[in-house]
Each structure stands twice: as C-alpha cells, then as structure tokens.
Amino acid sequence: MALFKKNYSTKSDEELMSLLAQGGQSAFDELYKRYSKPMLNFFFRMLNNDREKAKDMLHDLFLKTIEKPDSFDRSKKFNTWFYTLANNMIKNEYRSRQIHAEHHKQILAVNNELYEMNDGNFDTNLFNNRLQLELDKLDIDAKTIFNLRFVEEMSIKQIAEIMNCPEGTVKSHLFTLTKLLSKKLSIYKPELN
C-alpha cells in the first residue's frame, strides 16, 4: 500500500486545501504539520502570552478548516487566508473580554521583578517581556501588523490583504511602530546605542 500513498509534503498549501475539501485526511494532517506551530505562537503573542487560550484558539482555527473548507478563498494564498481567519478570531476575543488591561498589570509586575533580579543585566527574555508590554499598549491592528511583519515575516502585500487595508497604511503603521518602539526599548540594547 505504501506504493500508492501520495506524497503530500511536496504539495502546495492550496493543493492540500483542495484535497482536504474532498475529504482527504492526509492533506489535513500535512496542513496541521505545517501550520500548527506558527499559528500557536502567533496566538500566544497576540493573546498576551495566554498559553491555554492560544491552544484553544489553535484548535478552533483548525476546526473551522475541517467544518467549512469551502470558505477558503481561492483567489488568496492559503497562509494569507489562514492568518485572516486567525486575526478575526483574535479580534473577537479582544471584544469579548478585556484582555488588554488584565495582562498589562501582569507583565509590568514580572518586568519590574526581573529588572531588580538581573541588576541591569538585560537579556532576551527581559527584552521580550518589555516588548510585549509595549505592544499591549497599542491597538489590536498595530499589534497584529507588528507580529505579522517581524515574527511571521510576511510581505507588506500579504499583511495588507489580511488586514484588509492598503499597503501604504501597513507601511505607515510599521514606520510609526518602529520609531516608537525603538525609543521605548533603547534601554534594553545599550551596546547598540
């Protein structure tokens, strides 16, 4: 039977999505293999490092793919469509609860504690915590654009499609964000100043 087993690892995301819509479980498995980890990390960052919520969101995202595979917009690339779904879920989550305010206090407390413990010896974890804190102060769109660009390393065009806005708006957001964050986080990289 191994002779007849299809090699899904060489297929594109869009081809896998078509096979998935026809009931191909192997196609689904391959998509899960490719996207479960990046999507989990994306949710984790966007939901203020709430690990359990990120897992739930990851499950719900793939569940939507199983239940409504026909909702895939074939005019878009799969990962663009997938991140659009994820972004919509995150927006709904933000609306449903005040995640913003809750985590702000939590991060601030952890950050101060680490600052005292390390006695000014900054490391990557500390920088990440502070970065997360600063990102939490931003609106959801700015935070999403930042993550898509610097973490997921998407193109401006893809981000514009996901955010459903012009490319110029994305670039404008990124320029403003970079300037703002570089000022606020300059203390964490003294060797670069």
Partner 1 sequence: METLSNTDFDRLEKLLRTKRLEELSTTEKQWIHTVISEEEYASMSGLYLMLNNSTQSLDLEPQPAIKSRLDGAWSAKYKHPGIFQIKLPAYQTVAAAMIFFLIGFAINWNRPVQPKIIRETVQVIKYISQPESTKVKQHEAPQLEQRKVIQPTQPEPVQPIRDEVEHGLPELNPEYARQQEITMANITHAMNEKVGSSIGSDTVLQKMLVRVY
User: Quick one: which segment of 11-19, 108-116, 135-143, 168-176 binds partner 1 (CB under 8 A)?
Assistant: 168-176
Q: What is the 3-state secondary structure (H, E, C) of the chain?
A: CHHHCCCHHHCCHHHHHHHHHCCCHHHHHHHHHHHHHHHHHHHHHHCCCCHHHHHHHHHHHHHHHHHCHHHCCCCCCHHHHHHHHHHHHHHHHHHHCCHHHHHHHHHHHHHHHHHHHHCCCCCHHHHHHHHHHHHHCCCHHHHHHHHHHHCCCCCHHHHHHHHCCCHHHHHHHHHHHHHHHHHHCHHHCHHHC
- Pattern 132-151, binding to partner 1, x per CB under 8 A? ------------------xx
Short-list 98, 140, 133, CA closest to 115? 133
Q: Does 127 engage in binding with partner 1 (CB under 8 A)? A: yes
Pairwise CA distance, residues 139 & 10, whole Å? 39
The count of chain residues that interact with partner 1, using the rule CB under 8 A, is 44
Distance of closest approach, residue 59 Cβ to partner 1, in angstroms: 5
* Contact residue for partner 1 among 40, 108, 114, 142 (CB under 8 A): 40
Distance of closest approach, residue 93 Cβ to partner 1, in angstroms: 17
* Contact residue for partner 1 among 37, 74, 95, 97 (CB under 8 A): 37
| Radius of gyration for the chain, computed over Cα atoms and rounded to the nearest angstrom | 19
- Pattern 13-32, binding to partner 1, x per CB under 8 A? ----------x-x--x---x
Site for partner 1 in 45-84 (CB under 8 A): 45, 51, 54-55, 58-59, 62-63, 66-67
Cβ proximity to partner 1, 13 vs 130, nearer residue: 130
What does the binding site for partner 1 look like in residue numbers (CB under 8 A)?
23, 25, 28, 32, 36-37, 40-41, 44-45, 51, 54-55, 58-59, 62-63, 66-67, 124-125, 127-128, 131, 150-151, 167-168, 171-172, 174-176, 178-179, 181-183, 185-186, 188-189, 192-193
